[in-house]
Structure 1
Amino acid sequence: MAQKKNLLPTGKKKRSASPAAKRPPGSEEVEVTSTPGTPELLGASPTSNSSDFQLMAEQMEKLALTMMPSSPYGASDDGEAATFEFRRFLSSDGGRVSYWHDVPLHAPGGGFHAVIEIPRMTKSKMEICTSEACSPIKQDIKKGKLRDYNMPIKWNYGALPQTWEQPEHVWQGLEGHKGDNDPVDIVDLSPTPVECGTVIRFKPLAALAMIDEGEVDWKIVGINLADASAAEINSLAELEAKMPGEVDAVREWFTWYKAINPAGERIEGSEPNVFEFGGKPLDTEATLKIVTEGHSCWHALVSRRCQAGKLKLA
């Protein structure tokens, strides 16, 4: 039986070599570590209160999400959490709508909407399901099992609605790599936990060009506009000044998260991900162009100017 929730606040994923790539404006070479920074990756909790962390872990295990303030959107669940059947649907005006297609990319008052799929300091690999009607959020499945990260992700993680990394699209400097056929991913550096399925207003500040099994998988790094520090950060330079090392930490986490086990040991047969442009983040201007390109690809998809394959357009 569907359980209705009102989740959403008001408006307001030895390093292998990669072929050389042409760098777009705003990128330079940067050294990426060749071994995992285990203490940083596994000791990732930003809080010193272990009991708080344990509580968050238990909530993640059960997906027992707290209620959020009222907003134009709500959510309802089908199935039990941590099962193959679980789905979280977005609702508006009493009916189900699509997380991917119906939430506008551009947010009122500035910034962009973003859908948080995985709350910070949790491990369940939740994602927008683009192959099902209304694109609900569900837990990813790998090798017949519900997928969890080997270590908690340090940040709120999600996707930009109305964007698409089209397989046939050619990104400048990433020629030869196909898009991963998903919405563009975001990493929210705000320390505020955000529940799975929440729609936030998001400020993009940097972009990391991750190549995952040969496919382009952009990571747009930015901040929740509800965060008190968001007004003071408007560029990559300001981000690095206010949050030194955070963008590098994002790159390192996504480099190694599939290649080391919970003990921080290399997993045999699993290679770390690769980041193009020398691992250097693109600046804010270049990042906004990436978002715009992703939105244009999505528009071509829903306008049926390209093949949808198994993707659902409503």
Structure 2
Amino acid sequence: MMRAPRGLSRLLQAARGWGCPGAMSRYGTEQRGRPNSPDYRLYFKTADGKYISPFHDIPLFAASKEKEHYNWKATAMPKREGDKEIPAKRSKTTGSEVLFNMIVEVPRWTNAKMEIATEEPLNPIKQDIKKGKLRYVANIFPHKGYIWNYGALPQTWEDPNHMDNITGCCGDNDPIDVCEIGSKVRYSGEIVQVKVLGVLALIDEGETDWKIIAISVDDPEAHKIHDIDDVKKHKPGYLEATVDWFQLYKVPDDKPKNHFAFNGEFKDKDFAVEIIKSTHEHWKALLHKKTDGGTINRTNVLVSGSPFCCTEEDARSIVQSAPMHVSGDAVSPEVDYWYFCPK
């Protein structure tokens, strides 16, 4: 059996110690409140019905196709601030790639800005609200809503108190974002195993907001897409569209265009993995009360040793205190308007 590189072994052992369920675990969701309204919530639970936090209790690492076979390539990027060790360059192995769990918040082609409620107990998915109104992203020529399945990696946190030594900006106080570029339209609350391909460094209103580019491992093209250059080869134009989308998506709301570190250049898989490792370490500090969490709600059920761990009964009470699920409201026809934003 192929052994994992030493640096990865430590990370995997740490991940297992953070309350990771078994490799074959499944997750479900439960709707509460009224869809298309401010009180709508989507809570998460395990296969045996235990309510959990998707932010804290779903493991970052997913099972690999071949048990305990991993390909964790070391990065050639400079040592990042706060990292004690970056392993030396290693050659590729023939083992299966490291897979991560992605929490889908927004399905492709939809407009509602659904997100993990980081400030609420058990962190359900809810719709963002700005200025008292439900938030929808605009349709920007030639796109309809989000152009990927959009979501986040659990057990990661972009620390707003940590100045990124690459971008020069602090984190945005959220789990790290993921753009899944596979061919399927996913659903909100779905847990998808993904391969990381690269990363884009968005600077959003002065905050570092990394966008991980990934593809679901069950996608028909996943076997031939392993890094950011493969995306350029097999999905030409997709990365350029991604930059355009993130640059312009707030313009219809009378906000300026966003900008990027590295002049909008996508960094490769190795670089992206280092970013994920860093945000995972920040999350661990958050859950062990080693850093100021501010308004982040750290209530969890499965994180071993966390002072914020609650009982299954407490978690059930949190969910049951939310309004019962009822039929949803109609969505305003303005959501379907189309905007042309000059570059």
TM-score, reference length from structure 2: 0.68
**What corresponds to 1:5 in structure 2?**
none
The size of the alignment, in residue pairs, is 239
Match of 1:115 among 99, 103, 127: 103
Match of 1:97 among 42, 45, 52: 52
The CA deviation at 1:171 is: 2.3
Indicate the SS of the match to 1:219. Answer: strand
**What corresponds to 1:131 in structure 2?**
119
**What corresponds to 1:232 in structure 2?**
224
Match of 1:106 among 40, 44, 61: 61
Matched, 1:192 2:196: no
Cα distance in 1 for partners of 2:266, 2:244 equals: 12
Indicate the SS of the match to 2:267. Answer: coil
Deviation track 1:28-85 (CA, whole Å, cap 9, x = no partner) reads: xxxxxxxxxxxxxxxxxxxxxxxxxxxxxxxxxxxxxxxxxxx711110110100111
Rg bigger for which structure? 2
The CA deviation at 1:172 is: 3.3
Match of 1:270 among 232, 236, 255: 255
Cα RMSD (Å): 1.5
**What corresponds to 1:51 in structure 2?**
none
Cα distance in 2 for partners of 1:234, 1:292 equals: 19
Matched, 1:174 2:167: yes
Matched, 1:73 2:66: no
Matched, 1:310 2:295: yes
* Structure 1 range deviating more: 160-169 or 239-248: 239-248
Cα distance in 2 for partners of 1:250, 1:111 equals: 23
Cα distance in 2 for partners of 1:173, 1:195 equals: 34
Runs of 4+ with >6 A deviation = none
Counterpart AA for 2:60: L
**What corresponds to 1:6 in structure 2?**
none
Cα distance in 1 for partners of 2:36, 2:227 equals: 38
**What corresponds to 1:223 in structure 2?**
215
Cα distance in 1 for partners of 2:50, 2:62 equals: 21
Cα distance in 2 for partners of 1:100, 1:234 equals: 26
Counterpart AA for 1:253: W
Indicate the SS of the match to 1:123. Answer: coil
The CA deviation at 1:231 is: 1.6
Does structure 2 retain, via aligned residues, the 8 Å contact 1:205–1:284? Answer: yes
**What corresponds to 1:16 in structure 2?**
none
Unmatched segments (≥5 aa) in structure 2: 1-22, 65-97, 140-144, 300-343
Deviation track 1:156-194 (CA, whole Å, cap 9, x = no partner) reads: 00000000000122323212x111000000000112000
The CA deviation at 1:86 is: 0.4
The CA deviation at 1:130 is: 0.6
**What corresponds to 2:73 in structure 1?**
none
Counterpart AA for 1:75: T
Match of 1:145 among 130, 133, 151: 133
Indicate the SS of the match to 1:239. Answer: helix
Cα distance in 2 for partners of 1:257, 1:236 equals: 23
The CA deviation at 1:308 is: 1.1
**What corresponds to 2:241 in structure 1?**
249
Alignment of 1:12-31 (within 5 A): none
Does structure 2 retain, via aligned residues, the 8 Å contact 1:221–1:247? Answer: no
Indicate the SS of the match to 2:126. Answer: strand
Cα distance in 1 for partners of 2:240, 2:282 equals: 28
Cα distance in 2 for partners of 1:72, 1:235 equals: 28
**What corresponds to 1:158 in structure 2?**
151
Alignment of 1:41-52 (within 5 A): none
The CA deviation at 1:283 is: 1.1
The CA deviation at 1:226 is: 1.3
Cα distance in 2 for partners of 1:189, 1:299 equals: 28
Counterpart AA for 1:281: F
Does structure 2 retain, via aligned residues, the 8 Å contact 1:163–1:183? Answer: yes
**What corresponds to 2:40 in structure 1?**
86
Indicate the SS of the match to 2:251. Answer: coil
Cα distance in 1 for partners of 2:178, 2:50 equals: 27
Counterpart AA for 1:143: K
Does structure 2 retain, via aligned residues, the 8 Å contact 1:160–1:185? Answer: yes
Unmatched segments (≥5 aa) in structure 1: 1-10, 13-70, 261-266
The CA deviation at 1:209 is: 0.5
